[in-house]
């Protein structure tokens, strides 16, 4: 992993080379075999992942966590498939949730190589270097806002489809 590769990820947009260098000491490479989950919806999140190599699928539960007797409805819907070619990151939501819960599951479709940054390490760098922290938090805010816009569009589509079905 090198600086030029990290520059491709939105979390590092507008950071100078020496600012990115602060992250090299805290980034850990993680290998995940095909078919394995490395993020599970509902679990406590303590890190952010960058997909360095491979392809993943993001899934979310179709129903709320309700138990009916001894069985729990755990149906999931694949939301999107992402490749390392577009330099995606995962786990940003749990960095800012009040209960730090993951909001989706991420499964490796192929053998994947990831870079993991632990939440305390990320915030320590941001706290000790406010100019870096400002840029990183602004970048993460942009990612979160983009995701929120997409989620709102999906809710609107579902609401419209449901309304059309009810009109019949």
Q: What average pLDDT does this structure show over 135-142? A: 95
- What is the b/e burial string over 129-157, where b = at least 16 CB atoms within 10 angstroms of the residue's CB? eeebbebbbebbeebeeeeeeeeeeeeee
pLDDT at 11 over 80: yes
Q: What average pLDDT does this structure show over 144-158? A: 81
Q: Residue 66: what pLDDT?
A: 55
Q: What average pLDDT does this structure show over 2-30? A: 94
Confidence class for position 161, pLDDT limits 50, 70, 90: confident
Q: Is residue 78 within 8 Å of residue 41, measured between CB atoms?
A: no
Q: Residue 153: what pLDDT?
A: 83
Q: Residue 37: what pLDDT?
A: 95
Percentage of residues in the chain having pLDDT higher than 90: 58
Q: Residue 70: what pLDDT?
A: 46
Q: How confident is the model over 88-97, as pLDDT tens digits?
A: 999 888 888 7
Q: How confident is the model over 18-74, as pLDDT tens digits?
A: 999 999 999 999 999 999 999 999 898 899 999 999 999 999 877 665 555 545 556
Confidence class for position 103, pLDDT limits 50, 70, 90: confident
In SS3 terms, 134-151 reads as HHHHHHHHHHHHHHHHHH
Helices (H), the chain: 3-6, 17-24, 119-128, 130-167
Domain ranges for the chain: 3-167
- CATH superfamily, domain at 3-167: Jelly Rolls (2.60.120.10)
Q: Residue 151: what pLDDT?
A: 76
Q: Residue 147: what pLDDT?
A: 79
């Amino acid at each position: 992993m090198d600086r030029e590769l990290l520059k491709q990820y939105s979390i590092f947009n507008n950071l100078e080379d020496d600012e990115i260098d602060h992250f090299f000491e805290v980034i850990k490479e993680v290998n995940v075999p095909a078919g394995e989950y490395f993020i599970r919806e509902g679990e406590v999140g303590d890190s952010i992942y960058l997909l360095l190599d491979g392809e993943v699928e993001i899934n979310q539960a179709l129903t709320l966590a309700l138990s009916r007797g001894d069985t729990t409805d755990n149906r999931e819907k694949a939301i999107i498939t992402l490749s390392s070619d577009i330099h995606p990151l995962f786990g940003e939501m749990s960095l800012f949730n009040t209960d730090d819960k993951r909001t989706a599951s991420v499964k490796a479709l192929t053998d994947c190589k990831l870079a993991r940054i632990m939440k305390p390490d990320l915030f320590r760098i941001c706290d000790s270097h406010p100019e870096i922290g400002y840029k990183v938090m602004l970048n993460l805010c942009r990612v979160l806002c983009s995701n929120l816009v997409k989620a709102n569009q999906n809710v609107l589509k579902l609401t419209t489809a449901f309304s059309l079905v009810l009109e019949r």
